[in-house]
A = this chain, B = another copy of it.
Amino acid sequence: MQVAISSRDNLLIQTVSAVDELNKSSNLLFERLTEWYGMHFPEFKTPEPVKYVQGVLLFDRKNIDQAEIEAVFGIQAPNIIGRMKSTVGSDLSDDDMRLVRSLASQIQFMWKLRDEIEAYEAKIATELCPNMSYIAGPELAAKLVAQAGGLKRMATFPSSTIQVLGAEKALFKHLKSGSRPPKHGLIFQHALISKASRRARGKISRALAAKLTIACKADAMSHNFIAEKLKEQFETQAKRILAKDAASPEGSKPAQRPPGNQGAPQGQQGKPPWQKDSKPQ
């Protein structure tokens, strides 16, 4: 049983890393594609990489297939066809085109594989850590476990560590030089945190990390499913934090903060406690 779990653990870490590396590689090759194909059709720009690759595979300057282009690009199609007809790009030989298109399909395959691995990663995460996956979503749960180096190991972490997991660089910079501490690591990817206002983020992060810490211990040890209650509690907390944040005016003084609150007053936020100039009375 122990072996089986730790091997699922390791598998999760492999899939998270594989997704990461496929992203990195496909970005690198996509950049090359835009530069290479840009010699032929520099006016073609689109904010969506997926569409760009489709365009490279589809376009043929000598034999423009209007219907196909409309099927992919919709209302942008006439604009693109116009540009294609008046392009200043140089002609590419058939050999060139074949290689550029091979590169484009290569990138498509990589994206496809990445999506498959990502789906699988979510499946393992839901099996391995159902509580954390329920609260934070399986993708985020998988990334947290991978960053922590395994589920058992993560279950020994305090909430404050889980809160900044993935922000190690900022954390150690804070500890060394007294810069502002990070408010969130990977858990920033949670929609409630990334969409919150800058002032509320730290508080919501702390609330989420607290619930994830409990969920992680349940996943690693007791294997009970307690996430429904935890998620409800977290959402209530988040709602309260957001309501307060919306009510209080921008740039409120520390005195206006709720009493018995969490964290140091604003004036001292930048320094760790042992670097304070004097003790509070």
Q: How far is the CA of A102 from the CA of B19 in the complex (A)?
A: 13
Question: Which one of B10, B24, B113 lies within 8 Å of A102 (CB-CB)?
Answer: B113
Q: How far is the CA of A95 from the CA of B7 in the complex (A)?
A: 15
Contact (A18, B32) CB under 8 Å given A11-B96, A109-B106: yes
Number of this chain's copies in the complex: 2
A14 & B28 in contact (Cβ 8 Å cutoff): no
Interface residues on A, range: 20 to 34
Q: How far is the CA of A96 from the CA of B12 in the complex (A)?
A: 11
Q: How far is the CA of A93 from the CA of B180 in the complex (A)?
A: 45
Q: Which residue of B lies closest to A25 (CB)?
A: B25
Contact (A90, B29) CB under 8 Å given A102-B113, A106-B109: no
A35 & B14 in contact (Cβ 8 Å cutoff): yes
Question: Which one of B7, B29, B117 lies within 8 Å of A22 (CB-CB)?
Answer: B29
Can you report 29 residue pairs joining A to B where beta carbons are below 8 Å apart?
A: A3-B90, A7-B90, A11-B36, A11-B92, A14-B32, A14-B35, A15-B99, A17-B32, A17-B35, A18-B29, A18-B32, A18-B36, A18-B103, A21-B28, A21-B32, A22-B29, A24-B28, A25-B25, A95-B120, A95-B123, A96-B120, A99-B113, A99-B116, A99-B117, A102-B113, A103-B113, A103-B117, A106-B110, A106-B113
Given contacts A99-B113, A106-B113, 6 further A-B contacts (CB under 8 A): A7-B39, A17-B35, A18-B32, A25-B29, A95-B123, A103-B117
